[in-house]
């Protein structure tokens, strides 16, 4: 098939035929009016014969574009319905409560960490005292000479 040969890609042949018939009827009625007023000259006939094919192809392509737009509109409506259903059926995550729980847990961990730091410093002081007491005990005890 050549590029000028129209192909039917419409899903509804009756709608396509009706629109084609309307355009043909309009063209025929225009031709009838012009033929009544003035006799068609060879120049006009030549123009009509030259432009008939490209005009038919253009009409066919415009109908294809319209059909594509109808199909796309249908798909968009289906997607919008699906998204609306998804939005209505899903529950949003309660982030505020989760964030508050995390902050509360952080405060508790910081309090525990501070308590552990205090306990660690006390244990260090007790150990230092024990080491000092042991050294003092060793220094104050008489040394025995083995021999």
**What is residue 56's predicted lDDT score, i.e. its pLDDT?**
92
Whether residue 116 is predicted with pLDDT greater than 50 in this model: the reply is yes
How far apart, in whole angstroms, are the C-alpha atoms of residue 52 and residue 126?
A: 108
**What is residue 27's predicted lDDT score, i.e. its pLDDT?**
52
Least reliable range by pLDDT among 18-27, 43-52, 78-87, 133-142: 18-27
- How far, in Å, are 94, 115, 116, 120 from residue 107 at the CA level? 21, 12, 14, 20
Q: 142 by DSSP, 3-state: which?
A: coil
Whether residue 131 is predicted with pLDDT greater than 50 in this model: the reply is yes
Mean pLDDT along residues 62-71:
96
**What is residue 128's predicted lDDT score, i.e. its pLDDT?**
95
Instruction: Please report, to the nearest 10 degrees, the dihedral formed by the alpha carbons of residues 69, 74, 78, 83 taken in order.
Output: 40
């Amino acid at each position: 098939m050549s590029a000028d040969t129209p192909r039917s890609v419409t899903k509804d042949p009756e709608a396509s035929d009706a629109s084609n018939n309307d355009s043909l009827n309009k063209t025929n009625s225009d031709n009838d009016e012009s033929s009544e007023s003035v006799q068609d000259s060879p120049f006009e006939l030549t123009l009509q014969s030259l432009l008939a094919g490209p005009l038919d192809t253009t009409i066919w392509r415009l109908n294809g574009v319209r059909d594509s737009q109808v199909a796309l509109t249908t798909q968009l409506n289906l997607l919008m319905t699906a998204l609306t259903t998804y939005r209505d059926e899903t529950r949003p995550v309660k982030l505020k409560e989760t964030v508050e729980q995390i902050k509360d847990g952080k405060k508790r961990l910081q309090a525990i960490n501070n308590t552990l730091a205090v306990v660690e410093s006390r244990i260090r002081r007790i150990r230092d005292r024990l080491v000092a007491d042991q050294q003092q005990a060793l220094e104050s005890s008489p040394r025995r000479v083995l021999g």
